[in-house]
Amino acid sequence: MTTTSEFFDNVSRPVWLLVGIIAVLIIGDVDYATGQEIHISIFYLLPVAATTWFLGRSTGLVFAAISAASWFAADLFGGHHYSHPAIPYWNMLVRFGFFLIVLIVLSRLKVAYEHVKTLSSVDPLTGILNGRTFQERANAEIERARRYGHPFTVVCLDLDNFKAINDRFGHSAGDNLLRLVTDIIRNNLRITDIFARVGGDEFVLLLPETGQESARTALDKIQDRVTSQLQEAEWPVTLSVGAVTYLSPPDSVDSMILQADSLMYQVKHGGKNRILQELHGG
């Protein structure tokens, strides 16, 4: 289910601009109509805050200027009298300065928010997705496959003899190996593929709109690249792979990972360094 945050994040830039302009015009019109007795000026912060958060600091700056000018116009044409003609202009600058402070604070909060959001979704060692985020993305892919009837393939990958690397060379060497393998695999994926680390040396991969033959071609390429580059680097490590292609979506992400994981362990117990595939729903 789409959350409120996701809904607003998916609103296009032109729509946000239109909504912001309409909001400023409505607030300015109401501000002018209510005169000096009723103050609604704080509502000018709404379009400034919204455009800053969703469209960035530069757009928020433009709306801060527009809002300050609209506030100025409502005061000027609403019959507000000042003891000096420069006072309304001074007030406009002060209001603009206030909006500026708000948008600077908001823009910095947005940067911090995005940083925390990224940290919570990726594996800190390899920089790819973590297991929780994979679950979310895979759930979305299952729903999409159910809606459009497209096949997809889920893959579990495990490094053979990885424990021996940690035992012999230390965990720092093991970490470097994991980063290397991650980079090799990531460089041989499409932008639409979903790749995550779910354990020490265990990875999971989801290939959207990918049938059994296409998946095999992609996995053969990945295994060849991993094997050749690890041999060049003199790492005595290979890759065991289990893959399930779904023609009809599974009941859950956990069930499909369990099936691919079972195939991967069959490979590890049967000699390692192979790919074992299965077709589901055919």
The CATH number for 143's domain is: 3.30.70.270
Provide the pLDDT for residue 1. 42
232-259: average pLDDT: 92
- Residues 158-186: pLDDT tens digits? 999 998 888 888 989 999 999 999 999 99
Range of the domain at 168: 131-280
In whole angstroms, what is the distance from residue 24 CA to residue 46 CA? 9
Contact between 156 and 253 under an 8 Å Cβ cutoff? The reply is no
**Domain final residue pick, 70, 99, 121:** 121
pLDDT at 261: 95
Query: Residue 115: is its pLDDT beyond 80?
Result: no
Q: Single out the residue of 211, 207, 277, 269 nearest to residue 242, CA to CA.
A: 277
Which of residues 121, 141, 174 is at a domain's end?
121
pLDDT of residue 72: 85
Average pLDDT of 219-248? 93
Is there a single domain that holds both residue 46 and residue 107?
Answer: yes
pTM for this model (two decimals) = 0.68
Are 208 and 143 in contact by the 8 Å Cβ rule? The answer is no
What is the residue-averaged pLDDT of the chain?
A: 88
